[in-house]
Amino acid sequence: MSEQAPRGATVEATALGRRFGDRPALAGIDLRIEAGESFGLLGANGAGKTTFIRLLTGYLVPSSGSVTVDGFEPIADARAVHERIGFVAETSRLYPELRVRGFLRFAGGVRGLSGAPLRDAVDRALARFALEDVALRPIGNLSKGYQQRVNLAQAFLHDPALLIVDEPTAGLDPLQQADVRRELHGAAGERTLLLCTHDLGEARELTRRVAVLSRGRLVACGPTAEILGAGDLLALFRGPEAAA
């Protein structure tokens, strides 16, 4: 009896670089994230995490090297990549004047859903993220915690193979953080999870393997417990140049 293939998408970066003028935001990143893996991308502010996400989602074009999702390039094969990705940005990209259900219908339509499949996807998202009671309320009238639930719900609508979450609990209170982390735990095994964060506790709780960026360079990669349990983490985040 053959083993079932892991669910999720594979991400591979090869010599991936991006410059802004003379400043390298990413410098020659080689990284592979396996299908179904819960993976953390760590680093201080300005380390290159957001640049990596923007390259992976096609918002930026590499200056050198490449990044792929299941072998598809975000620019050349944009449709194939976007079908596979659900993205939860650090700053919620929501429309405050829209009601929750209406926004989710809009977000599902953008991803190609319509008719009964769209209605079913919206209903599932509302139930999964406990949004039924606020489904007809304008998003702008919701608390930050509920807005983040809406942000998560839109990313799950099309059952993406790769879920990218950028600082998902920033600014939330402890109860709201616990709610969000519980949902991300639930995604384990269903899809590939890429968590971008500088919260080490969150990385320990949600990931099996991590990579650490510092000043645009990959300075460590390996099992979460090993990387976050060894040595001076602050020195790791500062990078080798700071220690020299």
Write out pLDDT tens, residues 83-102: 999 999 876 678 999 999 99
Phi and psi for 20 in degrees, rounded to 5?
-120, 100
Query: What's residue 4's pLDDT?
Result: 56
Q: What residue numbers bound the domain in which 224 lies?
A: 11-94+161-236
Per residue in 177-208, pLDDT (tens digit) is 888 888 888 777 789 999 998 888 889 999 99
Q: Where is average pLDDT lowest: 21-25, 61-65, 181-185, 240-244?
A: 240-244
Query: What's residue 2's pLDDT?
Result: 46
Strands (E), the chain: 11-20, 23-33, 38-42, 64-69, 85-88, 162-166, 192-197, 209-214, 217-223
Query: What's residue 244's pLDDT?
Result: 43
pTM: 0.90
The mean of the pLDDT values for the chain is 89
Whole-number Å distance between alpha carbons of 177 and 93? 19
- The answer to whether residue 119 is domain-embedded is no
CATH number, domain of 89, equals 3.40.50.300
Better-predicted residue by pLDDT, 225 or 183: 225
- The answer to whether residue 226 is domain-embedded is yes
- What percent of the chain stands above pLDDT 70? 93
Per residue in 139-152, pLDDT (tens digit) is 999 988 889 889 99
- The answer to whether residue 148 is domain-embedded is no
Query: What's residue 127's pLDDT?
Result: 94
Say how far residue 15 (Cα) sits from the centre of its chain. 21
Count of domains observed in the chain: 1
Q: Which residues neighbour 148 within 8 Å (Cβ) at sequence distance 6 or greater?
A: 92, 168, 169, 172, 176, 180
Whether residue 6 has pLDDT greater than 70:
no
Q: Which amino acid is at 21?
A: G
- The answer to whether residue 121 is domain-embedded is no
- The answer to whether residue 191 is domain-embedded is yes
Better-predicted residue by pLDDT, 118 or 231: 118
Yes or no: say if 29 and 15 are a contact pair by the CB < 8 Å rule. yes
The average pLDDT across 65-81 equals 96
The average pLDDT across 123-149 equals 93
The average pLDDT across 131-139 equals 96
- The answer to whether residue 109 is domain-embedded is no
- The answer to whether residue 5 is domain-embedded is no
Whether residue 153 has pLDDT greater than 70:
yes
